[in-house]
């Protein structure tokens, strides 16, 4: 392979072809109405494209979680959206004004069109209910006409997709490891085949090896199923590996939004450069762009057009509990 081939391959990997938008956030401002009001998100605008992984980076307290919650209208008082527009562009052609949805419409919208895996989500599973019952409840709440057989098949399929043996359907959350619980949460988030998944530090509480396995699978699932991901973390090296584009937040504002490679090589904003410089793994010799880790799947293990459920190659083999 020549150097030109290498460069071309790298460009294919790192320069995403931007598809049509699936979500548009315009001038969003979110304020915590406390004694000394905090404007946690200031005039934030971004476009998420279909099938894209958009990383949201920035140090603790810059407003990442507030932004993510507001997009899904999961924010609670004292948080208030004081201005802005959030539009979901459904694949059937409809534009949905998320801020105008009534409660019932919002309940139908969440999980179905846009789902969220948030910090500590692995503890969000109901401790007294089996995995089977939790998947079934979510499915039937949105698809009441599904037959028992369809519910069973879909539940098995999503578990397989995230690398959990369907034999675990009968398990209670405490019978699963942290990594498995987090995989189950990801299965739950993709259960209804949403077009967007927002992931807020989904793997932070897990050890590094499990984290990488799960991230690899998220990228693989995105490749197979084409949902868009907003991935939030302050781990910039990790975002550089998995994201198509990265938005950098500083004190509530999005100060830079670029492709991962451009951000890595030619960050424009001084804060982005400072952030890049604060990770020793990024501040040494900048040779080849580091975007290889989680993209590296065993060659030939999957075809892009695969539509049948497949067990990810990296899935742990596990025994029935």
Ligand X SMILES: Nc1ncnc2c1ncn2[C@@H]1O[C@H](COP(=O)(O)OP(=O)(O)OP(=O)(O)O)[C@@H](O)[C@H]1O
Q: Which residues form the interface with ligand X (CB under 6 A)?
A: 32, 34, 38, 40, 58, 60-66, 78, 234
Q: Which residues contact 38 (CB under 8 A, 6 or more apart)?
A: 31, 32
Residues 6+ apart with CB under 8 A from 111: 138, 142, 189, 191, 192, 194
Task: Write down the least CB distance from residue 64 to ligand X, Å.
Answer: 4
- Between vectors from CA 266 to CA 263 and to CA 269, what angle results, nearest 5°? 75
CB of 34 to ligand X, least distance (A): 5
Q: Which residues touch 121 (CB under 8 Å, ≥6 apart)?
A: 182, 185, 202
- Residues 6 or more apart in contact with residue 306 via CB below 8 angstroms: 224
* Three-class DSSP labels, 152-202: HHHHHHHHHHCCCCHHHHHCCHHHCCHHHHHHHHHHHHHCCCCCEEEEECC
Spatial CA neighbour of 207 closest among 175, 184, 178: 178
- As a whole number of angstroms, the distance between CA 137 and CA 127 comes to 15
**Cβ closer to ligand X: 32 or 172?**
32
Of 34 and 141, the one with the shorter C-beta distance to ligand X is: 34
The β-bridge partners of 253 are: 250
Quick one: 43 or 157, whose CB is closer to ligand X? 43
Q: How far is the CB of 188 from ligand X (least distance, A)?
A: 21
What is the smallest separation between the CB atom of 153 and ligand X, expressed in angstroms? Answer: 37
Q: Closer to ligand X at the Cβ: 237 or 309?
A: 237
Closest distance between ligand X and the C-beta of residue 182, in Å?
17
- Identity of the residue, 72 or 171, whose beta carbon is nearer to ligand X in the bound complex: 72
Q: Give the nearer residue to ligand X in terms of CB position, either 45 or 119.
A: 119
Nearer to ligand X, 234 or 291 (CB): 234
Chain-centre distance for alpha carbon 218 = 8
Residue 43 C-beta: closest distance to ligand X, Å: 15
| Nearby residues of 113 by Cβ (< 8 Å), 6 or more positions away | 88, 90, 96, 194, 195, 196
Name the minimum Å distance from CB 239 to ligand X: 13
């Amino acid at each position: 392979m020549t150097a030109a081939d290498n460069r071309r391959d790298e460009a294919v990997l790192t320069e995403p072809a931007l598809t049509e938008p699936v979500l548009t956030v315009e001038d969003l401002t979110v304020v915590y109405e406390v004694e000394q009001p905090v404007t946690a998100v200031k005039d934030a605008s971004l476009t998420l494209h279909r099938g894209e992984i958009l990383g949201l980076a920035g140090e603790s307290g810059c407003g990442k979680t507030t932004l993510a919650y507001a997009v899904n209208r999961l924010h609670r008082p004292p948080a208030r959206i004081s201005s802005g527009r959030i539009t979901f562009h459904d694949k059937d052609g409809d534009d949905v004004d998320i801020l105008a949805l009534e409660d019932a419409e919002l309940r139908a919208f969440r999980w179905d069109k846009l789902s969220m895996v948030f910090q500590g989500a692995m503890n969000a599973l109901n401790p007294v209910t089996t995995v089977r019952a939790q998947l079934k409840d979510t499915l039937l709440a949105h698809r009441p006409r599904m037959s028992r057989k369809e519910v069973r098949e879909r539940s098995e399929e999503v578990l397989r997709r995230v690398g959990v043996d369907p034999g675990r359907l009968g398990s209670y959350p405490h019978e699963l490891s942290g990594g498995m619980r987090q995989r189950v949460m990801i299965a739950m988030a993709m259960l209804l085949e949403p077009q967007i998944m927002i992931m807020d530090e989904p793997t932070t509480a897990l050890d590094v090896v499990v984290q990488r396995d799960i991230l690899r699978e998220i990228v693989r699932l995105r490749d197979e199923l084409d949902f868009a991901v907003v991935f939030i973390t302050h781990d910039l090296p990790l975002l550089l590996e998995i994201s198509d584009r990265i938005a950098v937040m500083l004190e509530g504002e999005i100060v830079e939004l670029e492709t991962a490679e451009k951000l890595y090589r030619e960050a424009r904003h001084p804060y982005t450069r400072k952030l890049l410089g604060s990770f020793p793994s990024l501040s040494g010799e900048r040779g080849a762009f580091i975007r290889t880790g989680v993209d590296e799947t065993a060659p030939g293990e999957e075809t892009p057009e695969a539509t049948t459920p497949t067990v990810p190659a990296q899935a742990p083999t596990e025994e029935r509990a």
